[in-house]
Structure 1
Amino acid sequence: MPARAVLGYLLAVLPLIATPGASFTLLVQRVARHGRRQALPVVLGTATGLYVHAALAALGLSALVMRSGTAFAALRLGGAAYLVGLGLWSWYRAGGRPAAAPRRLPWAVRSTYAQALLGNVLNPKAASIFLTLLPQFVDPHRALAPQVLVLATAQVALVGAWLLAWTAVVARAAEAFAAGRAKALLHRVSAAVLVALGLRTAVG
């Protein structure tokens, strides 16, 4: 695949990547409260979500969902409900309240990786990238799947680099605000952002 096509695609998605979303909010929340190591599951979950969207786009399933008003609405509302629920749970946990039985909580709530994965998979705007931007950089005379894989991998690398760069910034900021109350406040702010992102997704 021509390098200029890959570079052009990365330049096209860069403004979207740089716009704070669920993955960025989760990164800030987890790294500020639990340290740099929590960045890895956020990055891996986000990367997996992108590959899921890429695979669905290559199979043509994403196009079917986007064209079906009912299916698209279900995806949008499902993603919105997940983000709102995750935000409310994070707000509750910010107070330092111990969960009654943390191991009994659903994996999608307990796992940072799952939160990043579902936050991405259930995001219709992430799916739309592979249906609107990506086709503009694909050669119709060549096999589709390998080209989608190359572009998706390039996007994953860019997203990973972006999130890891912010990890260093957030970790240093967390050290400056080492007090428990300051971290709890940051946790609540990020929880409120998740709720806001969910509400924005719900209204389209």
Structure 2
Amino acid sequence: MSLHLWWLYVTAVFLISATPGPNMLHVMSQSIAHGPRRTLAAMAGLMSAVLLCLTASALGLGALLKTSPLLFDVLRYAGVAYLIWLGVKAWRAQVTTGEEGISPRPVPARALYGTALLTGLSNPKLIIFAAALFPQFIDTARPFGMQLAILIASFVAIESFWYGAYALGGMKLRRWLEPANRQRLFNRATGLLFIGFGGALLGARA
């Protein structure tokens, strides 16, 4: 893979990762609820999901999902159900005021990681996306393994950057959300967005 081709890939992934989606919304909402430091566990869960999807795509799962509509639909419906559940949970989230703060009870890092992992895995389109994207930047005349490692490492670095950016954005919103009415508004807007992402995934096709 030439340096020019790598820069094209980095630019494309940078712009795609910047686009708000379930992962970025999850990072921001967790940062608001628990603070950016504790959100590192959620970021790790999301990144684990990204790595699993990218690796699965490289191993051929993306091609399998393209040729097996039934398998893709099973994964898609499971993802839709999970995103809608997250939406309902966000809509009904407890509103806190005064000394309680936005997050009255610390959530274990393991729980933050697990929820984020399932959020990241809820969209099988990432596997399809990687299966379609990677071949565009692979030079068949050069070693495949090294090029794939560079593509995945670059993806992870860029995704991590945007996780940090959204977490900092959540930190800045945290104080603004101290009044109960603003928390309630944010919770319902977040819930609707997650449900919307689930609806968009429901209409997706392999």
Q: Tell me how far 1:19 sits from its aligned partner.
A: 1.6
Q: Tell me how far 1:186 sits from its aligned partner.
A: 1.5
Any idea what SS the aligned residue of 1:37 has? coil
Please give the TM-score of this superposition, normalised by the length of structure 2.
0.83
Q: Tell me how far 1:56 sits from its aligned partner.
A: 0.9
Any idea what SS the aligned residue of 1:36 has? coil
**Structure-1 separation of matches of 2:42 and 2:10:** 21
Q: Is the 8 A contact 2:53 2:121 kept in 1?
A: yes
Any idea what SS the aligned residue of 1:94 has? coil
Q: Is the 8 A contact 1:42 1:113 kept in 2?
A: yes
Q: Tell me how far 1:95 sits from its aligned partner.
A: 4.5
Q: Is the 8 A contact 2:49 2:118 kept in 1?
A: yes
Q: Which moved more, 1:121-130 or 1:73-82?
A: 121-130
Aligned pair 1:187/2:187, yes or no? Answer: yes
Please give the TM-score of this superposition, normalised by the length of structure 1.
0.84
Any idea what SS the aligned residue of 1:123 has? coil
In structure 1, stretches of 5+ residues that fail to align are: 97-101
Aligned to 1:166: 166
Q: Tell me how far 1:111 sits from its aligned partner.
A: 2.1
Going by fraction, where is helix more abundant, 1 or 2?
1
The structure-2 alpha-carbon separation of the partners of 1:145 and 1:180, relative to structure 1 and needing over 3 Å to count, comes to farther
**Structure-2 separation of matches of 1:181 and 1:35:** 20
Aligned to 2:25: 25
Q: Is the 8 A contact 2:56 2:62 kept in 1?
A: yes
Aligned to 2:38: 38
Q: Tell me how far 1:32 sits from its aligned partner.
A: 1.3
CA RMSD of aligned residues (A): 2.2
**Structure-2 separation of matches of 1:159 and 1:33:** 21
Any idea what SS the aligned residue of 2:140 has? coil
Q: Is the 8 A contact 2:61 2:127 kept in 1?
A: no
In structure 2, stretches of 5+ residues that fail to align are: 97-104
Q: What amino acid sits opposite 1:32 in the alignment?
A: I
Alignment identity in percent?
27
Q: Tell me how far 1:122 sits from its aligned partner.
A: 2.7
**Structure-2 separation of matches of 1:197 and 1:80:** 8
1:152-201 CA-partner distances (Å, limit 9, x unpaired): 11111111111211222221122233224423432232122111111111
**Structure-1 separation of matches of 2:55 and 2:4:** 23
1:83-108 CA-partner distances (Å, limit 9, x unpaired): 11122122223346xxxxx9xxxx9x
Q: Report how many residues are paired.
A: 193
**Structure-2 separation of matches of 1:111 and 1:68:** 33
The structure-2 alpha-carbon separation of the partners of 1:72 and 1:129, relative to structure 1 and needing over 3 Å to count, comes to same
